[in-house]
């Protein structure tokens, strides 16, 4: 079944999910059952349940699937029209009964989860359901997982939990929470539907869209950024020039400096304007600039609140920096995988087809065994950073191995 056929039959809101027809069928059936429940036509939950777990590789659209499903559940017309107020506000993140937890730091705390669970226990105010979307559920602390488990075990009426995680492995989601959720596996979209979406929805030139779709690794959001952002294209190209550019020992430290500096610049660029706006808004809300009695106490309270906000912003910047660096490492891993493909003579599609000549050259120079050692070094670097090893130390150790083979 094609995406066009599926969305045409089920409603426009499902066009948000690119190349995920099996998942759309599951979610649309659940939304239909939910509509029947809300209207009182039946008391049989059918395909609908109170907790869902969306899994899939990066870029498959886990959070998009959760938001789209939330829109279908809150739809005021036909379970996903995409045009009513319920659909539009749910997709935009402004619906009063759709709460989204998107961790800005490295984890989701127990205090944050307890507050969310308490809010989720209320009856919906404007929509059909009280919906809680937890993006990056794999970042839940142990305490936060326990707080969520209590709510999932005894769910309030008309409350739905939508969790997003890379997999249903116990390292990502606890076994007890997983056992109470319905699993929806998402797949990596093929380049063709990604290119179609870039052209039809974003108005991108077809040739540029096809190129971006072919090199994005199945990540729709990254394809859009590569197609529209010159600096993103240059950063990717700079990363992919590293493998054949490690000729001398000093190249290790030069490339490490560039990788770390790029990640820090991205984090600073993304955070600066947002941080200042958040601090100004908080000071205003706390009475900054006021006159009269109580001003000194209000200022002390405002300063304390700003310090707490700055701590959260620092954690968010750290995560942004690590995410940017991880994207570079994923690109590097893809290059060495392409080298293995070229060295073995396999017919598998290349992750970086526009760097095919470079990976072919590397395959001739290194051979499969050396390429595999280099790939393992990149993956080990990702693991090390995930375990809070200083990024610079992890990157320099990786680049040393990449140079020596």
Over residues 41-64, mean pLDDT: 87
β 159-165/130-134 pair status: parallel
- Of 153, 185, 217, which residue constitutes the final position of a domain? 185
Clarify whether residues 260 and 174 are in a common domain.
no
Clarify whether residues 256 and 164 are in a common domain.
no
Q: How far apart are CA 116 and CA 130, in angstroms?
A: 11
In a domain, residue 200? The reply is no
In a domain, residue 375? The reply is yes
Q: Summarize pLDDT for 320-332 with one digit per residue, the tens.
A: 788 889 989 999 9
- Output the pLDDT for position 91: 92
In a domain, residue 233? The reply is no
Clarify whether residues 179 and 321 are in a common domain.
no
Q: How far apart are CA 403 and CA 247, in angstroms?
A: 7
- Of 138, 154, 185, which residue constitutes the final position of a domain? 185
Per-residue CA distances from 84 to 16, 37, 88, 112, 131 (Å): 16, 20, 6, 31, 18
Q: Which residues contact 33 (CB under 8 A, 6 or more apart)?
A: 44, 45, 46, 47, 48
Determine the Cα angle at 389 with ends 351 and 335, to 5°.
15
Clarify whether residues 132 and 17 are in a common domain.
yes
Q: What pTM was estimated for this model as a whole?
A: 0.76
Q: How far apart are CA 245 and CA 303, in angstroms?
A: 49
The DSSP bridge partners found for residue 182 are 52
Over residues 374-389, mean pLDDT: 93
In a domain, residue 321? The reply is yes
User: Domain limits at 129?
Assistant: 12-185
> Count of domains in the chain?
2
Clarify whether residues 181 and 263 are in a common domain.
no
- Of 162, 185, 208, which residue constitutes the final position of a domain? 185
Given a cut of 50, is residue 1 above it in pLDDT? no
Clarify whether residues 277 and 368 are in a common domain.
yes
Provide the token pair at 284. 């205003």
Query: Which residue in this structure is represented by tokens 């700055």?
Result: 310
In a domain, residue 238? The reply is no
Clarify whether residues 175 and 33 are in a common domain.
yes
Clarify whether residues 254 and 178 are in a common domain.
no
Highest mean pLDDT pick, 2-16, 73-87, 151-165, 358-372: 358-372
Clarify whether residues 178 and 263 are in a common domain.
no
In a domain, residue 234? The reply is no
In a domain, residue 82? The reply is yes
Q: What is the CATH number of the domain that holds 47?
A: 3.40.50.300
Clarify whether residues 277 and 167 are in a common domain.
no
In a domain, residue 85? The reply is yes
The DSSP bridge partners found for residue 130 are 159
Percent pLDDT > 70 in the chain is 85
Q: How far apart are CA 286 and CA 98, in angstroms?
A: 27
């Amino acid at each position: 079944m094609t995406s066009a056929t599926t969305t045409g039959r089920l409603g426009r809101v499902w066009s948000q999910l690119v190349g995920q027809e099996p998942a759309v069928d599951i979610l649309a059936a659940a939304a239909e059952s939910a509509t029947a429940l809300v209207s009182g036509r039946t008391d049989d939950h059918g395909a609908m349940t109170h907790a869902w777990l969306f899994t899939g590789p990066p870029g498959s659209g886990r959070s998009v699937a959760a938001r789209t499903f939330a829109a279908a559940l809150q739809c005021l017309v036909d379970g996903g029209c995409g045009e009513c107020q319920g659909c539009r506000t749910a997709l935009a993140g402004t619906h009063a009964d759709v709460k989204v937890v998107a961790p800005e730091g490295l984890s989701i705390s127990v205090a944050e989860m307890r507050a969310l669970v308490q809010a989720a226990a209320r009856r919906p105010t404007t929509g059909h359901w009280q919906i809680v979307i937890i993006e990056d559920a794999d970042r839940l602390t142990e305490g936060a997982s326990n707080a969520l488990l209590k709510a999932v075990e005894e769910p309030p009426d008309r409350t739905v939990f939508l969790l997003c995680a890379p997999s249903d492995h116990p390292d990502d989601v606890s076994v007890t929470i997983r056992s109470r959720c319905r699993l929806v596996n998402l797949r990596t979209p093929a380049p063709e539907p990604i290119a179609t979406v870039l052209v039809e929805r974003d108005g991108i030139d077809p040739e540029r869209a096809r190129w971006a779709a072919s090199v994005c690794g199945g990540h729709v959001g990254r394809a859009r950024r590569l197609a529209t952002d010159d600096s993103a294209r240059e950063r990717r190209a700079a990363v992919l020039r590293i493998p054949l550019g490690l000729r001398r020992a000093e190249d290790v430290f030069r490339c490490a400096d560039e990788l770390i500096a790029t990640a820090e610049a991205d984090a600073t660029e993304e955070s600066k304007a947002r941080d200042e706006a958040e601090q100004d808004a908080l000071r205003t809300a706390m009475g900054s600039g006021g006159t009269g009695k109580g001003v000194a106490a209000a200022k002390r309270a405002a300063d304390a609140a700003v310090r707490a906000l700055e701590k959260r912003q620092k954690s968010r910047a750290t995560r942004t920096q690590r995410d940017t660096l991880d994207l570079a490492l994923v690109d590097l891993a893809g290059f060495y995988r392409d080298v293995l493909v070229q060295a073995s003579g396999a017919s598998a599609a290349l992750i970086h087809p526009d760097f095919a000549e470079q990976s072919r050259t590397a395959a001739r120079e290194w051979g499969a065994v050396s390429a595999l050692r280099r790939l393992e070094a990149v993956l080990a670097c990702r693991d090390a950073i995930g375990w809070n090893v200083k990024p610079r130390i992890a990157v320099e150790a990786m680049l040393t191995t990449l140079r020596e083979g």
